[in-house]
């Protein structure tokens, strides 16, 4: 079939297998040029199909030849209906990995559930014995608690006061003011239940109790801080409360892994266009200004550049360069004073009329469509493509 983008708000309902495969190939090529002896060998990535998780899987496999198991929640294709992009990404990754002699298998299902945890555990036992790294890169709007069956929904709201600021509809380029009402106490608790650290800890507890974590095991989850501009709705909002909980969990995990000298870390990453971040109000305007400034300064990075730097210059380097709160900071370039001062100045000037010049709206849009395999250089979108694509190492 011929597949074209069909968008609704901040989601795209279709995705393109060839474009997704090309994106994956570009990331593989980037890491291939930066091989290392000094990386993980047996890696479990939770949230492995898109964004930072996919980049972590590729960096592990192609940086230090790691065997990887990927867990994700993606929609398979049916006749006439393309899969979600993470499906095509994972298919492309595994196809290439197998060709290159790398072990790669995947599990598609709800990582919050006991069933998927048990299935993953069995696969580790059977195929890898032990893992030396677990990347926790889930971004989900909902979670059903595996023990109580309670369903939690996360929300993106400020805590305390109504938040009013500008945002952009990146499809139309319209800059307009939005107001978001403050959260209730339930909203905060629900968001912590979805995006906080409980599920990460559950994974670690299970894998530890079954003795599949290797000596010196490391685990990393991803967090975000961002500028004062977005603070009320992000870091000091409901999602920030969940990130506080996630960050606190890293220390608890380290404490619980003393016998094997295991370590839990949080890495604070840069703001990037992903399916998760395009859903957050205000962030698209911030990102389009940030991209402009960082590209001009030669400091722009995508997920793969960020994760390569995380692995090679922090996690597997001499010095993790932790901040005062014990976090790894690969948002260091985004948060530089000079970069933030420029973004803040542009923010005050940003209107529907000025944004195309002072911001990188085109870069934002392009990255958004790229997530779904569209607008990818070198792909012929007029060519008929088979929407039914299998993931070779997918476990049933
Ligand atoms: P993403 O939307 O690209 O990836 C989410 C992944 O989670 C996908 O692999 C998806 O299949 C998987 N997933 C979602 N629900 C699942 C479930 N129930 N069971 C199994 N898998 C599930 O998101 P992104 O942006 O890469 O986010 C990953 C982490 O990085 C999040 O914690 C996010 O807060 C953090 N982060 C994101 C930043 C950004 O600007 N995008 C910046 C800094 C941190």
Q: Which residue's entry shows tokens 């604070």?
A: 268
Annotated binding site: 47-52, 73-74, 110-111, 138-139, 224, 243, 272-274
Q: Which residue's entry shows tokens 């000094």?
A: 38
Distance 242 CA to ligand 1 centre (A): 14
- Alpha-carbon span 224 to 243, nearest angstrom: 8
Among 234, 265, 286, 291, the active-site one is 234
Give the DSSP letter string of 301-351. Answer: --HHHHHHHHIIIIITSS-----TTS-EES-TTTT-HHHHHHHHHHHHH--
Query: Apex CA 33: angle with CA 380 and CA 223, to 5°?
Result: 85
- Alpha-carbon span 184 to 283, nearest angstrom: 22
Distance 274 CA to ligand 1 centre (A): 8
| 129: three-class secondary structure by DSSP | coil
Alpha carbon nearest to ligand 1 atom 30, residue:
222
Q: How far is CA 158 from CA 100, 235, 292, 340, in A?
A: 47, 9, 27, 22
Span 43-52, pLDDT tens digits: 999 999 999 9
Residue of 27, 110, 120, 137 to test ligand 1 pocket, by largest number of atoms within 8 Å of CB = 137
- Alpha-carbon span 170 to 280, nearest angstrom: 12
CB of 112 closer than 6 angstroms to any ligand 1 atom: yes
Span 14-41, pLDDT tens digits: 999 999 999 999 999 999 999 998 999 9
CB of 110 closer than 6 angstroms to any ligand 1 atom: yes
- Alpha-carbon span 304 to 26, nearest angstrom: 9
What contacts 24+ positions apart, CB below 8 Å, involve 244-248? 245/192, 245/196, 245/197, 245/198, 246/195, 246/196, 246/197, 246/200, 246/221, 247/197, 247/223, 247/325, 247/327, 248/197
Q: Which residue's entry shows tokens 């976090």?
A: 327
Alpha carbon nearest to ligand 1 atom 15, residue:
140
Which range has the worst mean pLDDT, 149-153, 230-234, 290-294?
Answer: 230-234
Residue of 52, 193, 309 to test ligand 1 pocket, by largest number of atoms within 8 Å of CB = 52
Whether the predicted model's global pTM rises above the 0.95 cut: yes
CB of 90 closer than 6 angstroms to any ligand 1 atom: no
- State residue 335's pLDDT score: 98
Distance 279 CA to ligand 1 centre (A): 12
Average pLDDT over residues 170-196: 95
Give the CA diameter of the chain.
59
CB of 154 closer than 6 angstroms to any ligand 1 atom: no
Annotated binding site for NAD(+): 47-52, 73-74, 110-111, 138-139, 243, 272-274
Q: Which atom number of ligand 1 is nearest to the Cα of residue 139?
A: 5
Query: Apex CA 145: angle with CA 262 and CA 269, to 5°?
Result: 50
Average pLDDT over residues 173-187: 94
Is 72 within 8 Å of 110 (Cβ atoms)? no
Q: Which residue's entry shows tokens 């990188």?
A: 360
Distance 52 CA to ligand 1 centre (A): 7
Annotated binding site for substrate: 224
Is 127 within 8 Å of 103 (Cβ atoms)? yes
- Alpha-carbon span 48 to 55, nearest angstrom: 8
Q: How far is CA 13 from CA 8, 85, 227, in A?
A: 7, 10, 31
CATH of 7-141+186-280+301-331, one of 2.102.10.10, 3.40.50.720, 3.60.20.10, 3.20.20.70: 3.40.50.720
Give the DSSP letter string of 9-32. Answer: TTEES---HHHHHHHHHHHHHHHH
Q: How far is CA 371 from CA 25, 59, 379, 389, in A?
A: 14, 18, 14, 17
**For residue 305, what are its two tokens?**
């550049």
Give the DSSP letter string of 70-108. Answer: EEE--PPPBTTBPPPHHHHHHHHHHHHHHHTT--EEEEE
| 352: three-class secondary structure by DSSP | coil
Q: How many CB atoms lie within 10 A of CB 196?
A: 24
Nearest to 238 by CA among 159, 143, 144, 152: 159
- State residue 276's pLDDT score: 80
Q: pLDDT-based confidence at 99, cuts 50/70/90? A: very high
Q: pLDDT-based confidence at 275, cuts 50/70/90? A: confident
Question: Catalytic residue at 234?
Answer: yes
Span 128-139, pLDDT tens digits: 999 999 999 999
């Amino acid at each position: 079939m011929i597949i074209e983008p069909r968008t609704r708000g901040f989601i795209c309902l279709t995705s393109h297998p060839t474009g997704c495969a090309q994106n994956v190939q570009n990331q593989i090529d980037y890491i291939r040029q930066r091989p290392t002896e000094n990386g993980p060998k047996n890696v479990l990535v939770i949230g492995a199909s898109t964004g930072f998780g996919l980049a972590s899987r590729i960096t592990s496999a192609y940086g230090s030849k790691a065997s990887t198991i990927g867990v994700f929640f993606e929609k398979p294709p049916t006749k006439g209906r393309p899969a979600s992009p993470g499906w095509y990404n994972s298919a492309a990754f595994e196809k290439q990995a197998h060709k290159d002699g790398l072990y790669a298998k995947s599990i598609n299902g709800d990582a919050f559930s006991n069933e998927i945890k048990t299935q993953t555990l069995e696969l580790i036992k059977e195929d890898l014995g032990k893992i030396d790294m677990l990347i926790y890169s889930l971004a989900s709007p909902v979670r059903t608690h595996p023990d109580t069956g309670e369903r939690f929904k996360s929300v993106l709201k400020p805590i305390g006061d109504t938040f009013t600021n500008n945002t952009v509809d990146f499809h139309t380029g319209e800059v307009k003011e939005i107001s978001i009402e403050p959260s209730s106490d339930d909203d905060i608790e629900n968001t912590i239940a979805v995006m906080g650290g409980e599920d990460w800890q559950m994974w670690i507890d299970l894998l530890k109790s079954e003795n599949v974590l290797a000596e010196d095991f490391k685990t990393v989850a991803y967090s975000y801080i961002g500028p004062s501009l977005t603070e009320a709705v992000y870091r000091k909002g409901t999602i920030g409360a969940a990130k506080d909980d996630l960050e606190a969990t890293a220390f608890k995990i380290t404490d619980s892994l003393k016998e094997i000298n295991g370590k839990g870390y949080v890495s604070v990453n840069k703001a990037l266009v992903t399916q998760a971040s395009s859903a957050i109000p205000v962030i698209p305007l911030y990102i389009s200004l940030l991209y402009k400034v960082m590209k001009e300064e030669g400091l722009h990075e995508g997920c793969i550049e960020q994760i390569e730097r995380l692995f090679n210059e922090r996690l597997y380097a001499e010095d993790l360069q932790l901040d005062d709160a014990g976090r790894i900071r690969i948002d260091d370039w985004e948060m530089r004073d000079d970069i933030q001062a420029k973004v803040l100045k542009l923010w005050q000037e940003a209107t529907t009329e000025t944004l195309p010049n002072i911001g990188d709206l085109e870069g934002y849009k392009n990255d958004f469509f790229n997530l779904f395999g569209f607008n990818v250089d070198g792909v012929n979108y007029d060519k008929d493509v088979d929407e039914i694509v299998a993931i070779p190492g997918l476990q049933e």
